[in-house]
Structure 1
């Protein structure tokens, strides 16, 4: 009789190498891609590290995204207090039909055509920041001077949020992603952001504007509180995720000089390079949670009703059953089908915009700074292992 392994006590987060998922998770994927896990609050659930299993669950309507059913995968001060009531408009934590109502309205705002129309503006913004970097001279922090301001400015213009207010929302969004922030700090940041966005959407309801939030306001289908909630989600996700992908992607390329050389000699590889970097890095490093609404049989185990399932996408995106040589960064092999943007009905709405920003940002750096290099060792770079979105706090570079 085979002995049942003891549940994993929490999610391993320590990285031997900064760009690779924790080694114990790779071992688990090979041995038991669905394994028992005890969450930080003591709840029993499951950890999924295999690509096939994660993709299947993301597409299965029997699994819920509701926030009230989830449990924290790691201990953090923010989880000490009781779960707050979900603010209006947080559609990523909803199931159909509530989720469907928001998604239908927003899908029309994030069409591929509309995102492609933004290309020229993104190129202009990237060129301006590259020129500013060059004027200030090396060394420079690529995060502050390039990776963060580009997606911040783009999402502000798209939503209709004044870029001059960026210090306010960037500070508060950083608090919301900080695993070390206490529950009171998180609540304060939430209240400030919702207060700010509530004031903004009231103005758009009174006098419609030609931007995404203005367009949503003009439909009359969302309340003021729901508009503020949607604006909150898009504003935080729209600059934090892409900013960290751009900085971390640059680090990955600079530590793989053969890959940078390939992009310089064959610029047509860039689209595939973006997909490969998304797969290879997968910055949502604490995973994505789903909860079965009924018992689900998978690979010989029963995922029971109400037991939260944590899908560790960075490890799933390194699954050798799906991606040949998964631990090797190779911009010549586009990683189609990766899960960096999720899958199913909750797949990232802004993925086309993120791709454009990454493509333009990386192309600008490769073209304008042909001898760009790191100005610090891996040990000196402050990694964002303390945040729910992985990346670097700063990236010192020179040229």
Structure 2
């Protein structure tokens, strides 16, 4: 809901109403700071960016041991805290399987999960087929069953963050486009199409629009428009439900071939897409109504027909998701080099949603206190600097 602009100076403003922006507003309100607010160009829950849709995967299986460690406080502390505050279940228990061709790409996931002590179980393909009879596991020598994995009720999470924040004093200024950020002003100024806002501190979390509002970061970021499909399988609908269909992740020996999928949830078909961060070209986020590429859906359907023991009956729907990617898929998260009272979050690279409540806490703490209280983040914070 759009609220009138407050003429007073904000304690902290958040720019961007995706998962990281809403999570930052949630933590600012939890910390008791007032007045705080969030500015969003579109309406909350819009489908133009990276945070829409009914579901996401949560997992600890990563090819980088630092991210395995970073996931632990998210699973242990922040998701449970958010569910308690929201008064509803946001993580749906779902079985999981992570597999790939034998080689350095997939083996990196196995080694990192093992080294970090993640709660994962190794299965050989025959054992895996007994646990997951809908999957063939072609070419796999090992299948990981991640006992921390599950399915995030993504749209419910977004609604819960917005609802709790507004109930506890956070302001949401949606349908408000920011034209410029005046970093050298004190207080900081946001020039919008509905007037000028003033704030002592600013968190910028605008995803694919980061390069336009923080030009110094544009060379580090590429925007890739992903095509997500929903596929109805042959046979009874129950086989696609969370009770029977796992969240899954497939890595080919070449790192740029990755697919993932989730059960049917809020739609008639299982969700499947290729995780593509390697395209040399960058898409224009202003192309808001770009049509679905049917050839991508056909390729994804062919992948499912090869990897599942049941055939795809029909394509049940499709949507776009904008990835904002760095070259190594590390996040960009830290103080702006020209003004330490401005904190930037970008480069989610298609894997930030699961960290959302944790990174929202980090953003709020960095903006207000200049340092995060999350040791796992501090241990790798030099990797994330927006310089």
Q: TM-score, normalized by length of structure 2? A: 0.24
Richer in strand (by share): 2
Richer in helix (by share): 1
Q: TM-score, normalized by length of structure 1? A: 0.23
